[in-house]
Amino acid sequence: MTTSTPVTPAARPSIPRGIWALGFVSMFMDVSSEMIHSLLPIYMVTVLGTSTLAVGIIEGIAEATASIVKVFSGALSDRLGKRKLLAVVGYGLGAFTKPVFPMAGGLEALVGARFVDRVGKGIRGAPRDALVADLAPPEVRGASYGLRQSLDTIGAFSGPLLAVALMWLFANDFQAVFWVAVIPAFLSVAILMAGVQEPAHPAGRRPARIPLRRRELAQLGHPYWMVVAVAAVFTLARFSEAFLLLRAQELGVPAFSIPLVLVLMGLAYSVSSYPAGVLSDRMDRTRLLGAGMVLLALADIALALASNLAVAAVGVVLWGLHMGFTQGVIAALVADASPKELRGTAFGVLNLVTGVALLLASVAAGGLWEAFGSAATFLVGAGLAVASLVVLGLARSARPGTSA
């Protein structure tokens, strides 16, 4: 498993402008998406009369679609060598679906728009992450991923806040809020097209022929697969944030205030992502990943034992901090461990594996909740977080002395 080589401050280059642009691209698209998605389930149930079961099925299929598409888009970006083109297509699909939501006259149009939007997310995800690695000097790779993730998360918690404010301003007019959400989506695409320049490919670059063939996957190497294995076990401990909302409801938080749980988590996530990324460039990245696993275990324990909102809030903040300490670091480890010509494939496979693990974790968490209660769900999550820490230690000991 790879680790980072510390770099002295004097030798550390600055983060390229293209990375900043990609961060703002993510931020504005997330503002748009979360403005809609934070209201869409309520809109579907209260206005269109959709059942909650149908909402869950629609969301599950949409997210599964995104995870599957990421594998093929990442591989295609390696084959074509044009990551920005696929990112533009993906973000463009996301933008062009946004006007469908306020204009939709029934559930079928909303489901179609949601599906195409997730296809767009799948198309852009792996090529964008690989493009960050292509643009960022290795000395600031962790900081670059942390910055992009931080800006992305600012959008993720700003969207619901803006939606709440606009619902108050427009007197609960869903369509009016959905129309406002169209603006940041198209702004995101404009920034991507004008502000990101894909770097030239080095002479002698070997394009991946069919990146998802066994021969190509084998070239990703043992260190990469060790990162994927650790990320998969860790993701099993990270079930859906929906269970944070259910825990808040169980503790008596009013329904209209429950979205603030995600705002609190997102704020902690955003504030910690960039500093964690910078720190990962100055120390062994795996140590920082281990710290994130400890934070997740502490968050689960706090949420399991919480008898009041103050303790639960601590658990939510710790959950957000664990995301900040791990998500950008895992991306940097993948970039460190994978060949440049296969980075898109590497991120696509990672997204597929962790997406399946998250689905399994969430289903298991729901079963535990139904059978044994919320405390059991979070305590088992804490145990899995500790297990992922053990797997990380084994991965480190299996590759002594390696460096990025």
Backbone angles phi, psi at 211, to 5 degrees: -60, -20
- Asked whether residue 77 is domain-assigned, the answer is yes
| Predicted local distance difference test score (pLDDT) of residue 387 | 92
- Asked whether residue 3 is domain-assigned, the answer is no
- Euclidean distance between CA atoms 145 and 132, whole angstroms: 7
pTM for the structure as a whole:
0.71
CB 149 within 8 A of CB 132: no
Helix residue ranges, H only, 38-140 = 40-46, 52-80, 83-97, 100-103, 107-135
- Asked whether residue 34 is domain-assigned, the answer is yes
Backbone angles phi, psi at 3, to 5 degrees: -130, 165
> Where does residue 373 fall: left (phi above 0), alpha (psi -120 to 50 degrees), or beta otherwise?
left
- Asked whether residue 159 is domain-assigned, the answer is yes
- Euclidean distance between CA atoms 332 and 338, whole angstroms: 10
- Asked whether residue 4 is domain-assigned, the answer is no
Domain limits at 352? 9-199+211-398
Structure tokens at 323: 């995301």
CB 271 within 8 A of CB 324: yes
- Asked whether residue 377 is domain-assigned, the answer is yes
CATH number for the domain that contains residue 25 = 1.20.1250.20
Query: Tens-of-pLDDT digits for all 404 residues of the chain?
Result: 655 555 555 556 788 898 999 999 999 999 998 888 777 766 776 677 766 556 656 665 666 677 777 777 777 777 777 788 889 999 999 999 999 988 887 778 888 888 888 888 888 887 888 888 888 888 888 788 888 878 888 888 788 888 878 888 888 788 898 999 999 999 999 999 998 888 876 555 555 554 556 666 677 778 888 888 898 888 888 877 777 877 887 888 775 566 678 788 888 988 888 888 888 888 888 888 999 999 999 999 999 998 889 999 999 999 999 998 998 888 888 888 888 777 778 888 888 888 788 777 777 877 788 788 889 989 999 999 999 999 888 887 765 444 43
- Asked whether residue 204 is domain-assigned, the answer is no
Per the structure, how many domains does the chain have?
A: 1
- Asked whether residue 205 is domain-assigned, the answer is no
- For residue 396, which of 318, 333, 323, 314 has the smallest C-alpha distance? 333
